Amino acid sequence: MGLFDGKKGLIIGVANDRSIAWAIAETIMKEGGECGFTYLPDSPYDEKRKNQRRVAQCLAKYPQARFLLPLDAQSDREITDVMRAAHKAFGKIDFLLHSIAFADRKDLGRDTIKTGRDGFKLAMDVSVYSLIAIAHGAMPYLNPRSSILTMSYFGGEKCVPGYNVMGICKAALEAAVRYLAHDLGPRGTRVNALSAGPLKTLAGSAAGAGDMLAMYAHMAPLGRNITHEEVGRTGAFLLSDYSDGITAETLHIDGGYNAMGSPGRLLDLMKAAQPKA
């Protein structure tokens, strides 16, 4: 018997088979859950429909993947259409994964103080408000004891140079989690965030995660980086009944990196690398 037998829900934010959202969705489906998926709409000039094709390739071997629909998270109409499709396929929804974030590369690549007004609005709308809009759109279809999960990062708690405007977005996202958890709590719905360490993903590459991998491996108490499989299992846990007493939380899965107040073993390595007098 699987952890998600009889459970149905939405997975929003898969880009390809290296996405955190896919790691979580795959764990859920292997545990018996049924999932509906969305993808970022392709440009009308993209004849190959790369976004749709990449997600469709992930779903090909899973009969538990019930549908795949485009979703522009800035469109209330498209959010409504996806929720109605989920209701038609599933009736009620037991879990909802929100794994969406975006900022203009120009804003990610420059100091936060140089962030443009339009770029800031765009990043906040896609990365933060979309959670509120999607949770609101899902409200009529959520089962009691349902669970909503979004993805965060340590850059929302502490300054991580290079993460820039996205760090501000993640701080706002984690605040939104707490307020949504309060609003939806009386209905029995839980809302949490999963704060993952750096992984090799499409979004991580845009935010410079590659530069962080070596540092995390040296600084984290576990002395290594996390894996997609670990994030998949932890995300699935937070969307399952096994976490039914947890809400309004940001859970870290980063090998313990967030607990460190000094460079730890990295400092020892730096000292060892210094030439002896």
What secondary structure, in 3-state letters, does 127-140 show?
Answer: HHHHHHHHHHHHHH
Lowest mean pLDDT: which of 20-34, 93-107, 195-209, 251-265?
A: 195-209
Q: What's the fold here for domain 8-272?
A: Rossmann fold (3.40.50)
| pLDDT (tens digit per residue) in 246-273 | 999 999 999 999 999 988 777 777 667 6
Among 39, 141, 163, 257, the one annotated catalytic: 163
How large is the angle between the packed helices 165-184 and 117-124, nearest 10 degrees?
40
The reply to whether 62 belongs to the active site is no
Domain ranges for the chain, please list them: 8-272
Contacts of 151 (CB under 8 A, 6+ apart): 13, 20, 21, 98, 99, 101, 193, 194, 195, 196
What is the average per-residue pLDDT within 196-210? 68
**Distance of alpha carbon 166 from alpha carbon 25, whole angstroms:** 24
pLDDT at 204 over 80: no
Asked if residues 239 and 147 have their Cβ atoms less than 8 Å apart, the reply is yes
**In whole numbers, what is the pLDDT of the chain averaged over residues?**
93
Q: What pLDDT is stored for residue 159 in this prediction? A: 95
Q: What pLDDT is stored for residue 214 in this prediction? A: 87
Among 153, 179, 242, 257, the one annotated catalytic: 153
Asked if residues 100 and 126 have their Cβ atoms less than 8 Å apart, the reply is yes
Asked if residues 229 and 23 have their Cβ atoms less than 8 Å apart, the reply is yes
pTM over 0.85: yes
pLDDT at 81 over 60: yes
Q: What pLDDT is stored for residue 265 in this prediction? A: 78
What is the average per-residue pLDDT within 207-233? 87
Report the amino acid identity of residue 2: G
Asked if residues 35 and 96 have their Cβ atoms less than 8 Å apart, the reply is no
Whole-angstrom CA distances from 107 to 4, 36, 78 are 40, 32, 27
Tell me the pairing of strands 34-39 and 8-12: parallel
Q: What strand order describes the sheet that includes 190-196?
A: 65-70, 34-39, 8-12, 93-98, 142-152, 190-196, 250-253
The reply to whether 163 belongs to the active site is yes
pLDDT at 205 over 80: no
Residue 152, beta-bridge partner list:
195
Asked if residues 193 and 174 have their Cβ atoms less than 8 Å apart, the reply is yes
| pLDDT (tens digit per residue) in 16-68 | 999 999 999 999 999 999 999 999 999 887 778 999 999 999 999 999 999 99
